[in-house]
């Protein structure tokens, strides 16, 4: 979390539960609700491949619930990925995937 806070993100919550599953981190930056999936893997590619299309859909549904909960329905939603691991510096990929329902 501190990694993203140093980059100017305001953390709204972590390990947020919805009926569709858990969101690792939710943050706000520049008028955008940023949903962050965090993966601990030995390589960046392993972390990126761990977020399957099914996981992306689940996270997108959970993001919509959170946006409603915080009355941010009109805000754009971006899905980011942070990969951390032994011997790796955290790697943050903005807009790691796209979900059509999250467009505004």
Domain boundaries, the chain: 2-102
This prediction has a pTM of 0.89
Which class in CATH covers the domain with range 2-102? alpha beta
Contact 35, 63 (CB under 8 A): yes
Coil, strand, or helix at residue 44? helix
8-state DSSP, 100: G
Burial of residue 44 (CB within 10 Å: 0-12, 13-18, 19+) is middle
pLDDT tens string for the chain (104 positions)?
A: 788 999 999 999 999 999 999 999 999 999 999 999 999 998 889 998 999 999 999 999 999 999 999 999 999 999 999 999 877 789 999 999 987 655 54
């Amino acid at each position: 979390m501190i990694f993203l806070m140093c980059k100017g993100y305001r953390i709204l919550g972590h390990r947020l539960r919805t009926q569709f599953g858990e969101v690792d981190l939710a943050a706000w930056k520049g008028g955008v609700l940023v949903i962050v999936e965090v993966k601990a893997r030995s390589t960046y590619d392993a972390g990126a491949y761990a977020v399957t299309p099914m996981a992306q859909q689940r996270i997108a549904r959970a993001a919509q619930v959170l946006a409603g909960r915080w009355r941010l329905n009109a805000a754009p939603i971006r899905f980011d990925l942070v990969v951390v691991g032994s011997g790796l510096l955290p790697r943050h990929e903005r807009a790691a995937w796209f979900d059509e329902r999250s467009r505004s």
